[in-house]
């Protein structure tokens, strides 16, 4: 059966099969949900698999009881070559990460007042010491489908379709939050799990897919809402915005919003961005090799930097320059010449002094 036909049948199931409270129909509802999930996953994999390379900027805004936090991300990836550049800037965090098949390069910033100087770590692929989200194998499918963007989590489809509620509660649902067909008409589906109602709602007029989970329990009415907006770029659909809102009794407890600006899709990436020299670090930042001792402090193997001045109040390491043999040879030659001239000068003085003494002796005789 073709993928398109499966999709059409799944959409038909979504329209014709509505949830009912009777337990006898639970299996039918679950089967229909599974068909929808498979159809949605087919759409995402067919489109996002076509996104082989990308250059994008991502803005993150997290509002909650602790206030508002904002971060900026710069991301470049080439899936075929296994290349990823992942930079983060935000309060208390200014980090750069480069992933290649041969190594992971991580630039950690200085910490003002803590005496921590900036360093660059060179780590083996898959190193457990890389704790920045996204520095391990990167999957662009994570973009725009759940709030934990660029986490290393990869949820199998079977887990999604067999455990809707658990995944929604953990804000980790992947497949079922993606559009069905961006050309399709609005679709809506409610699924009842006890007192919890899960709503899948796609409205092209509103720009994307809405997933909402409502729970009426002892603490009142809790609602978790997730929206994802997609646009077509270079013949493939990519996420451009996603929001996650957790509210209780009408009060927003937490809201996360990502805005994604794609500079390029399926265009050749700038491979110089995956080199040590591309890091934006202060002059004289030490490079520490962790290949022999991944869990240790690493071995200082050189210095890099030059795009930013050294942080104030911190020691400014001297950038090591490669030796120039030509300069060294001329220096040695000049040094030898000076010694030769000095030796000749001393010999002349001694010779003249000897002649003067001889003349004095002859005059005395």
**pTM score, two decimals?**
0.60
pLDDT for 351 equals 67
Tens digits of per-residue pLDDT, 130-186? 544 434 333 434 343 332 323 333 334 343 333 333 333 333 333 333 333 344 445
- Please check the confidence at residue 232 and state whether its pLDDT lies above 50: yes
CA end-to-end span of the chain? 130
Q: What is the DSSP string of 172-211?
A: ---GGGS-S-TTSPPEEEEEEETTEEEEEEEEGGGTEEEE
Where do the domains of the chain lie?
3-79+138-271, 324-365
CA–CA distance, 279 with 258 (Å, rounded to integer): 25
pLDDT band at 192 (very low <50, low <70, confident <90, very high): low
Q: The tokens 């508002």 sit on which residue?
A: 68
Q: The tokens 């206030």 sit on which residue?
A: 67
Tens digits of per-residue pLDDT, 63-81? 988 889 898 888 888 878 8
Contact yes or no for 11/180 (Cβ under 8 A): yes
CA–CA distance, 90 with 94 (Å, rounded to integer): 6
At 293, give phi and psi (nearest 5°).
-135, 75
CA–CA distance, 146 with 269 (Å, rounded to integer): 26
Helix, strand, or coil (residue 41): helix
């Amino acid at each position: 059966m073709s993928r398109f036909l499966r999709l059409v049948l799944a959409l038909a199931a979504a329209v014709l099969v509505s949830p009912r409270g009777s337990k006898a129909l639970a299996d039918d509802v679950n089967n229909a949900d599974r068909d929808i999930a498979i159809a949605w996953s087919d759409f995402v994999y067919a489109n996002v698999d076509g996104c082989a390379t990308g250059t994008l900027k991502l803005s993150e805004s997290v509002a909650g009881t602790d206030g508002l936090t904002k971060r900026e991300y710069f991301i470049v990836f080439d899936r075929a070559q296994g290349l990823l550049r992942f930079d983060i800037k935000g309060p208390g965090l200014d980090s750069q990460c480069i992933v290649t098949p041969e190594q992971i390069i991580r630039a950690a910033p200085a910490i003002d007042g803590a005496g921590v100087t900036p360093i660059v770590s060179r780590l083996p692929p898959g190193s457990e010491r890389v704790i920045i989200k996204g520095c391990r194998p990167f999957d662009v499918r994570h973009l725009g489908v759940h709030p934990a963007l660029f986490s290393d989590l990869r949820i199998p489809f079977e887990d999604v379709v067999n455990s809707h509620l658990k995944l929604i509660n953990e804000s980790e649902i992947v497949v079922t939050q993606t559009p069905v067909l961006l050309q399709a008409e609005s679709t809506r589906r409610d699924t009842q799990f006890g007192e919890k109602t899960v709503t899948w709602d796609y409205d092209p007029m509103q720009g994307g897919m809405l997933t909402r989970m409502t729970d009426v329990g002892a603490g009142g009415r809790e609602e978790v809402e997730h929206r994802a907006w997609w646009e077509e770029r270079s013949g493939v659909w990519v996420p451009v915005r996603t929001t996650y809102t957790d509210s209780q009794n009408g009060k927003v407890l937490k809201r996360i919003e990502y805005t994604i600006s794609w500079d390029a899709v399926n265009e050749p990436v700038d491979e110089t961005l995956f080199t040590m020299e591309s890091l934006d670090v202060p002059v004289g930042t030490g490079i520490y090799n962790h290949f022999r001792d991944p869990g240790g402090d690493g071995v200082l193997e050189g210095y890099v930097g030059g795009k930013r001045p050294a942080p104030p109040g911190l020691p400014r390491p001297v950038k090591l320059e490669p030796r120039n043999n030509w300069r060294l040879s001329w220096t040695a030659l000049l040094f030898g010449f000076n010694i030769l001239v000095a030796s000749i000068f001393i010999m002349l003085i001694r010779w003249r002094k000897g002649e003067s003494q001889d003349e004095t002796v002859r005059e005395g005789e």
